[in-house]
Amino acid sequence: MHLTGSLLVMEIKKRFGLAVKEHRRLLKVSQEELAMRIGADQAYVSRIEAGQMNVTLETVEQVANALDTDAGNLLKLTADVGKES
């Protein structure tokens, strides 16, 4: 699939959100717990996972650290979301 412009941004936000959600669930961390770890509220985490937030690189790093990984790994997970095994 070839995407351009704002459609590409929307797609990556959704894939990042799914990567966060999958990794969070793998670690058995609630949205509330993740929110506490990054100094945000549960609604913010929910919006990230729903692909509704255009997060900063700082937020990517905060979320990754809160999920016991690094930003590079979280972005790799984002790139891998939706790929068939």
The pLDDT tens digits of the residues spanning 53-77 come to 999 999 999 999 999 999 999 999 9
Asked, for residue 46, whether it belongs to a domain, the answer is yes
83 within a domain of the structure (yes/no): no
Cα–Cα distance, 47 to 31 (Å, whole number): 11
Give residue-wise pLDDT tens across range 13-52: 999 999 999 999 999 999 999 999 999 999 999 999 999 9
Range of the domain at 23: 7-69
- Distance (Å, rounded) from C-alpha 59 to C-alpha 49? 13
Say which CATH number the domain at 27 has. 1.10.260.40
Instruction: Answer whether residue 51 is part of any domain.
Output: yes
Predicted model pTM:
0.85
Q: Could you tell me if residue 50 is inside a domain?
A: yes
* Total structural domains within the chain: 1
Domain membership of residue 79 (yes or no) is no
In a domain, 74, yes or no: no
Contact present, 61 and 75 (Cβ < 8 Å): no
Examine residue 18 and state whether it is found in any structural domain, yes or no: yes
